[in-house]
Chain A
Amino acid sequence: HYFRYDEHVSLCLEKQSSSKDKSKAVLQHKYVRCSVRAQIRHLRRVLCHRLGLPPQHVQILFNNEPLPDHMTMKQLWLSRWFGKPAPLLLHYSIKDKRR
């Protein structure tokens, strides 16, 4: 695996605004670039780490729809963003503790 020679995708991650969410965690750097072979679960792990949250506390959404963990960035781009300019716009939400 030589991921660094892969094609890369550019993403823009906006926080999903929700009145229930009182957490102050917001990404400082909202633009992300990574390999087309990275999966949603990898991105979730990285976001949790950067936001100082325990694993599995971040959900990634496209148009309010949670994305499956094993979807790759290439699948995401081709199915939701084909023909559109970079970066691809995603949202993230922080799950509350009840989950």
Chain B
Amino acid sequence: DEDGFSDVFEFEFSDEPPLPCYNIQVCLSQGPRNWLLLSDVVKRLKMSSRIFRCNFPNLEVVTITEAEFYKQTSLSQLFSCATDLEAFNPESKELLDLVEFTSELKTLLGSSLHWLHP
């Protein structure tokens, strides 16, 4: 029952401060979804991005320009703190890899998940 599953709140618990999660629309046919920067994920897992992508082919990775990433993230009221975005260049044409923030990825990063029916 996929709809039932989407209907619950997911609470993610961890010992370490969570990696920043970005709510970004990557294509026009889908609404915004939650993503982590692949570079953040591989750093925390102490793994190369090549090995990460080989080992977890089911985790979707997409590419976005840094400028587009900055544009969407800076519109969020939750990223109103300058230090959260200072690492990014709003003009840059460089590409960033994003990995979809699924329950599987949360577990992989060592978080424990708790579901609650509202």
Contacts and interface: CB of A to CB of B under 8 A. Distances in A.
Interface of A: 1-10, 12, 27-38, 42-43, 45-46, 49-50, 74, 77-78, 82-87
B104 to A, nearest CB: 12
B15 A4 contact: no
Given A3-B9, A5-B31, A33 B16 contact: no
B14 to A, nearest CB: 5
A31 B13 contact: yes
Nearest to B31: A5
Interface string B1-39: 000001111111111111011010000000111100000
Contacts of B83: 85
Given A5-B33, A33-B11, 14 more contacts: A2-B6, A3-B6, A3-B8, A6-B23, A8-B23, A10-B17, A29-B13, A31-B17, A32-B11, A33-B14, A34-B12, A42-B116, A85-B84, A86-B17
